[in-house]
Amino acid sequence: MSLVTTERPRKDTQFAVQPSALLLGKLSALRRRRVAVAVLTGIAMLVAVAIELGALAMFFDWWLNLSYGLRLLSLIVQLAVFTFILLKMVVRPLIQRPDDDDLALMMERARPEFRGRLIASIQLTRSPDVAPGTSAAMVDALVEETEAFAQPVDFRKIVPLDRLRRFGMLALFVFVVGLGGFIYGRAVTVDLLKRVFLSNIPVPRKTRVVVLDGNKIVGRGDSVRLEAFAQGIVPHTGRVEVRSLSRRTQSYPLEQNRDNKIHFGRTIENVQESFTYTIFLNDGQSDTFMVTTVPRPTVAAIECEQIFPAYTGFAPVKRPLGDLALLAGSTLKLNITATKDLQSGSIRLSGVDTQVPLRLSDSRKLAGEFVVPPKGLNGFSISMLDAESMESRDTAVYRIDVIPDKAPAVKITYPERKEELITRHATMIVGIDVLDDFAIAKLRLRYKVASDPAQLSQPPPAASPFVGAVSASRYFEDTMILDLEDANPQRIRRRLEWRIGDFRPTLSEGTVIEYWIEAEDNNNATGPGVNSSEHQLAKVVSEADKRADLLNRAGDTLGSITDVTTDQEKLNRTLGTLIREKTNR
């Protein structure tokens, strides 16, 4: 092979032999081609692998309904593979580019006819000092000969493109197929792609299962209702798979709501342990939810203390739960110990539909109190909410017997007759007997005065502005306050001297007085209690009529004495006859 030498232009440089611009330019073009092919090959591989991994993740998620944790692990693996390919096949070729020596050797291996000239021309022109025993003119001649040999050669053609074509075609094919499939199944693939990037939307199905209240906390032994709604194609049946913590799995059919066909449910009775469940409707599947069973809070102990109303003067007493006979107006203080840590509690009063909040004095201790009403209350129960927001249920109702504070018992002991005759100047004696549970606070003599007895059954006019006055209508009602002598006795027995002659103007004959005694106790909690005696009458008559009445009453008394004497004589005779008969025997 004949070589054509060329005269190289010379410049003043620090090198003994000037480097070849031709050879360096061709090596630079080879470098660019090699880097570009490596980067494009890496990008093609990156595209193909990313689409395939994403498609596989979407398929397995659609098939197996992967949990959030598995989808997170899948995404981490995909990102790791993506990052590895990106760094090794795209970033690395851009950073670690081959130097001139590597490219020269690569060219030497591809074109053996260079016979070491190319690598020698690059290395011998790199040092400013030519090695001893080496002629600069010979090196320069070698470079000129190499340039003449390399000038018609395209260094870039030695870079193989087969791998780039294969991966390029693969990436194009995967991209086209993936894009077509994504567009075709847009309603499904969009949601699956969102799930690949950890969205919590459900896996798209022909039937989508919607569970509004998935995770539940129920009391041990309670029933739990598992419910779901169907979207899309609504099936006629469904099932729920229940797996207990002991790994025992059971399947139950779901009941379709007749009025709402998209509503399905199942009641699990008497739940004793926690479990997970998954609902299946047609091809749809819900997430796996947890039903946690916890014991409900109950009452471990209750201490009761009765505080009597202040007017009774009694000291507080401890009361057992089985003997809650409480005076109306009393305050019942409760100290409650629960079986679990609590966040709140209340007292539910049975019969009066009232709820009283309790104070949380400790994590398991409650304190509270309520006033016993005079009517309606028949018991109480304790409602509690524990730290897990579990409410107590079916709590015991503790019976309460309300003892009312009775109104005073009032009786007129004298006169004994219900209707008495009096004169206009008489002093009438009224005997009083009043008894109360605790103390009497007020005592009154109340009366009506009418000139016509028929008026007493009618509503009275306004009370007279002063005691003892007679209105123009000759009919009025008034009250006389009786002195208790600055005391609140429990019982009063006395005789009242009521001066009829003090009425002004003086009562005329034929006037009728209706009178009664009214007493009021000291109950300032639920009272006061007020009670009255029976109503009695006093009629104003002339002195002659009064004397006649007294004579009649005396005659009646004497007649009674005569009858008693006669009966006594008969008894004596009978007794004597019996004694003689026994003596004769």
pLDDT of residue 582: 67
| Architecture of the domain made up of 207-294 | Sandwich (2.60)
pLDDT of residue 466: 40
* Helical spans, DSSP H, in 125-258: 136-150, 162-184, 186-196
Residues of the chain under the 50 pLDDT cut: 1-7, 10-15, 129, 464-473
Q: What is the DSSP string of 44-82?
A: HHHHHHHHHHHHHHHHHHHHH---HHHHHHHHHHHHHHH
pLDDT of residue 302: 94
Q: What's the CATH fold of domain 409-541?
A: Immunoglobulin-like (2.60.40)
List the one residue out of 268, 353, 340, 356 whose CA is nearest residue 299: 340
8-31: pLDDT as tens digits: 554 444 445 677 788 888 888 888
Annotated domain spans of the chain: 21-179, 207-294, 299-403, 409-541, 548-585
* Percent of the chain that is helix, strand, coil (3-state, to 5): 35, 30, 35
Confirm whether 207-294 and 409-541 share one CATH topology: yes
pLDDT of residue 5: 42
Two tokens, residue 161: 């493109």
Q: What is the CATH number of domain 299-403?
A: 2.60.40.10
Return the ∠ at Cα 158 (arms to 155 and 159), rounded to 5°.
110
pLDDT of residue 226: 94
Q: Which residues pair with 512 in a beta bridge?
A: 450, 539
pTM of the model: 0.57
